[in-house]
Structures are given as C-alpha cells and as structure tokens.
Chains A and B, each alone.
Chain A
Amino acid sequence: GIQVEQSPPDLILQEGANSTLRCNFSDSVNNLQWFHQNPWGQLINLFYIPSGTKQNGRLSATTVATERYSLLYISSSQTTDSGVYFCAVNRDDKIIFGKGTRLHILP
C-alpha cells in the first residue's frame, strides 16, 4: 500500500517563528489533505490540496504531485498552533494518514 511519511516527527519553536512541515508519499494519489489535531484531540481540516498552492491566513500549503510531496508552512507561530499536524492521502476509496508532526510553540 501507499506509504505516507512526515517530517520532522517533533518540532519545538518559539512563538513568532516560521516552520515548514513535509509530507512524502510513495505512489500517485487522488488527493491530499492537511489536518491539525489540537491537544484535546479535535481534528480540523486545514487544506484540501491535490496540487498547487493554497493559503489561509498564516498557513499555506504546496503539493507537487509529480514529485510526490507536500509542504505545510506556518508563519509567525502562535501557541494555539501547538498540536499534531497530519498529512493524509486519498487513493482507491481509502484514506491513509501519516504519523504526524508534533509541534510545540513556546510562549
């Protein structure tokens, strides 16, 4: 099956810093999504991005489907950005999540 690898696994940053999270996938996919899981377990859809670039406030994402990777950019980090960021790919009526990047933003 498709492998989804996220890096780095953990990231600790000071408030105000910028960060880049990476998602690599091993085969062609129909779609790619980025999610944020807050410390209380709630999973929020950030981007639905099969290809190209999208921006939403301080967050943006880029997917290069031909090279099988996606990047999530977080600018001017805030403590509320803490949590786990998951990349998930869709293929053949299934969805496969990576193991996530755990982000800690220090005040």
Chain B
Amino acid sequence: DAGVTQSPTHLIKTRGQQVTLRCSPISGHKSVSWYQQVLGQGPQFIFQYYEKEERGRGNFPDRFSARQFPNYSSELNVNALLLGDSALYLCASSLADSLYEQYFGPGTRLTVT
C-alpha cells in the first residue's frame, strides 16, 4: 500500500500570497494531522481532522485553515504569507481518532520570499 503522500514537494511564494498544500492519507486511515517544522526545531502541531471534523488545533493564527474531504484527503491553507511561514509542512495519518501511531508523509517545503 502507498504511504502518506503530499503535494507539492517544494513551493516558493511571495509575502502576502496564499498557499494550499495537499495530503492523501494511507488507505483506510480516517485521521489526518498537519505540522509545521521550522529548520532546527521539532514539528509543531497545527490541526487534526477525523471524519471531516476538526478534532484538535495548535497555537496558530487564523491565517491557517484546513479541511478534510469525504475521501479523507486534506488541504492546508495559509493566507497572507509571512517570511516566518517558511518551513517544512508535514502531514500524518492514523487509523483512529487520535494522535497516536501516526504515519508521516515526506512533507512540503515552503519558502516565502
């Protein structure tokens, strides 16, 4: 079975623009979570979705939003990009409604100039 997939792999945007990142979970997994990893730091939890509902949210501004589709894939949207949004964005999926035993995708590296 395919693992968690994310697109695009790399992305360069300008300050003030908007970006959409995409994630497809492992087949059968109903929970998707998003993380931001700034260089040299551990991942920071942004959102968790289960069965298309938001189940958890980290300390991120309202510029960050997400949704989960009926096929359990997910999108992360970031509006009004700042230089500080430059990071590796990781998506993870799990079977149950939890943040346990997650499987991570390869990430999308976002650079804001």
Contacts and interface: CB of A to CB of B under 8 A. Distances in A.
Nearest to A98: B42
A36 to B, nearest CB: 11
Given A41-B88, A93-B55, A86 B43 contact: yes
**Range class of the A interface residue count:** 20 to 34
Interface stretch (B16-24, B71-79, B97-105): B97-105
Nearest to B88: A41
Interface string A76-107: 00000000001010100111111110000000
Interface residues of B, number: 24
Chain A interface, >50% SS class: strand
B86 interface: no
B59 to A, nearest CB: 8
A7 B3 CA distance: 31
**Which A-B residue pairs are the 10 nearest by beta carbons?**
A97-B42, A93-B56, A43-B104, A95-B99, A95-B45, A97-B43, A86-B42, A48-B101, A99-B42, A41-B107
Given A43-B92, A86-B42, A88-B42, 12 more contacts: A31-B100, A41-B106, A43-B104, A45-B104, A48-B101, A90-B98, A93-B48, A93-B99, A94-B56, A94-B58, A95-B45, A95-B99
Interface of A: 4, 31, 33, 35, 40-45, 48, 86, 88, 90, 93-100
